[in-house]
Amino acid sequence: MRRASVLSALLFFLAAAPQLLLAETVTASDTREFRIDYENDQFLLDGEPFRYVSGSLHYFRVPRAYWRDRLRKYRAAGLNAVSTYVEWSQHEPFSGDYVFSGELDVTAFIEQAQQEGLLVILRPGPYICAERDMGGLPPWMITHHPNIKLRTSDQNYQSYVSRWFNKLMPLIQPYLYGNGGPVIMVQVENEYGSFGACDRNHTAWLRDLLLSYVGDDAVLFTTDGAGVGYLKCGAIDGVYSTVDFGTGANVSKAFAAMRTYSPRGPLVNSEFYPGWLTHWGEPLQTVSTRSAARDLDHVLAMNASVNIYLLHGGTNFGFLSGANYATKYQPQLTSYDYDAPLNEAGDPTEKYFALREVIGQYLPLPNMTLPEPAEKGDYGQVQLSPVASLLDPVILAAFSSENVTRQHPLTFEQLGHRYGFVLYQTRVPARAPDPAVLDLAEFSDRAYVFVNKELRGVLSRVDQITVLPLLVQEGDILQILVENQGRINYGSRLKDIKGLLSPNVTLGGHVLTDWMMTTLPFHTVAPVSELAGYEGHVTPPAFYVGHFVLPEGNSTLDTFLDTSGWTKGVAFVNDHNLGRYWPRLGPQVTLYVPATFLRPYPRSNTLVLLELEAPATNSSVALVAQPVLNGTVA
């Protein structure tokens, strides 16, 4: 009797305060259950009515050392759950090669969430959007199968998805709620109704694949835009249909659309947007605190569960930011600040406390110290010196182990190249007109055109500029450096091929042949440090290197790299790729530099810029304490 009484008391405690579930104190049992009560339009957690207020947090956008800090701030805001995508392309960077360590240790992230009293909503895709390159799908699929039909019942696509989930889901199974873990919900696909394929055989297949791992130990769900047109193709038989909508939406109308496909069960907004994303060349997108708080209150007043997308965004380090295509191609910023309640550096904003106040009207707020903005490093100027031009053969050889020669140019995907740049080279044939018009026909995304290593112009997919008049002579070396600015992550254009896309690149109407191609992924810029003292003529695109030591006696702090005065390029600190900078276009001017990327006093830190167009007049940058994400837009 005593054992039964203790067990009953424990179950009551867990149902009343699910945020306190800890991995080390909870074991799997038949009484542990998360399910939908259709009769009463609610979730049940261990038999008790329950609703979640969650926030999205992408572990792959945040240094691992900061996961616990961010999760603790989620809990302090009153959230009882955290939602995360799983980015397939990073976990399987090459076909059959898997990474689950460091910032990609998804199970460690789930464990930390549980330890911080948060349930978990897992969104494994395989497509995730998330404003990431190709929506998180791995580009190597296109290399192996150029005609692959993504997100459909194409046999090649499904075989890769099956192999991926057969690797991922066994790792996730122990963390499902029914098995003692914190994962209460698992999403099937993502906003499929916005894709256009409407392949119900595929979504049913995907449902069955996930169900074979999840069973009754968590709830399967879908999410789509809050319109019947989206739900028509996004809803899956046997999977709970939810919607997403942001500030300014008609909440009642949005949930009415959900009710057409989920007539009974809890109301759920799987992505409530208190901020929004920004593209290069457009003003910083913001959402007012007042509007975000008002509409969140409206959602919660309808007894809905909600996931805030995003409470904290993080950063698109490296080359992993994606792009949109509405009327034209639009690459996205390196920063994923998103005007979120916790800013890019994880500091609380006015919006954070406003949303916390709203949440506190519906859920008990934990007795926790409220977060405060952390001190940032104002480390001053760093002088940079030009080290080497990228087009110098010695430099190219240091960054690429192999050149590929073909009659016609190959795309990034045909070259098995994922991110970064490809240099295309050929010679000008006889009798070129004066001037001769270079016509790339079709390319992605930005092309720097050189004649004998001298920059002659820039072609742009964004601005739909594909031709350039040139003054050339027979035998001149024509070089075209093509940058992948991010594959499209939303809609029907996911198969976004990069590089020179047409075999018929012409100069003065003559098709150019005999191309040599050099892939430049820049996984590391260590070779630059090894070129100290290298004597060559330095003109952009070029590497600029500086060294700095942090102040003595101070703790190492987060800081921001101010790229004012520079034009466009990529920045690296201690071989960490901070991402693309483009202050000439705007609006982002600074790049976030986590303290975890820096070396404490008295060790020296190395800063490398790959400047593509023109350096700052004083060849220096600054490490500042305040970010600038709303700079002037050209």
pLDDT at 22 over 50: no
Task: Map residue 142 onto helix, strand or coil.
Answer: helix
Mean pLDDT of 203-222: 98
Pick the CATH number of 393-520 from 2.60.120.260, 3.40.50.740, 1.25.40.10, 2.30.30.140: 2.60.120.260
In tens, the pLDDT along 227-262 reads 999 999 999 999 999 999 999 999 999 999 999 999
High-pLDDT (> 90) share of the chain, %: 90
- Which of 441, 420, 409 shows the shortest CA–CA distance to 486? 420
Tens-digit pLDDT profile for residues 151-203: 999 999 999 999 999 999 999 999 999 999 999 999 999 999 999 999 999 99
Query: CATH: 3.20.20.80, 3.90.1150.10, 1.10.260.40, 3.30.479.30. Which one for 2-359?
Result: 3.20.20.80
Q: What is the pLDDT of residue 529?
A: 74
Angle at 397 between CA 445 and CA 455, to 5 degrees: 45
User: What are the domain boundaries of the chain?
Assistant: 2-359, 380-388+536-624, 393-520
Catalogue the active-site residues.
191, 271
Average pLDDT over residues 337-357: 98
Q: Is the model's pLDDT at 24 over the cut of 70?
A: no
Give residue 536's pLDDT.
66
Phi, psi of 266 (to 5 degrees): -70, 145
Q: With cut-offs at 50, 70 and 90, classify the pLDDT of residue 375.
A: very high
- Residue 455, pLDDT above cutoff 90: yes
SS3 10: helix
Cα 561 versus chain centre, distance: 20
Q: For residue 553, which amino acid is it?
A: G
Q: Which CATH superfamily is domain 380-388+536-624 in?
A: Galactose-binding domain-like (2.60.120.260)
452: phi then psi, degrees, rounded to nearest 5: 50, 45
Residue 197's Cβ-count burial label (10 Å; 0-12, 13-18, 19+) is middle
Predicted pLDDT at 430: 83
Cis peptide bond prior to 366, omega within 30° of 0: no
Per-residue confidence (pLDDT) for residue 10, from 0 to 100? 35
pLDDT for residue 8 is more than 60: no
- Which of the residue ranges 16-30, 108-122, 384-398, 544-558 would you say has the lowest mean pLDDT? 16-30
Domains 380-388+536-624 and 393-520 share a fold: yes
Question: Averaged over 406-415, what is the pLDDT?
Answer: 98
Please give the model's pTM, rounded to 2 decimal places: 0.94
CA distances from 528 to 97, 381, 610 (A): 28, 21, 10
Task: Work out the percent of the chain whose per-residue pLDDT is above 70.
Answer: 94
> Which one, of 352, 240, 238, lies nearest residue 296 by Cα?
352
Burial class (CB in 10 A: 0-12, 13-18, 19+), 13: exposed
Mean pLDDT of the chain: 94
Q: Report the pLDDT averaged over residues 361-368.
A: 97
**Above 70 in pLDDT, residue 391?**
yes
Q: How confident is the model at residue 35 (pLDDT cuts 50, 70, 90)?
A: very high
Contact 261, 249 (CB under 8 A): no
Note the Cα 259 to chain centre separation in Å: 31
> CA geometry: angle at 412 spanning 411 and 414, to 5°?
65
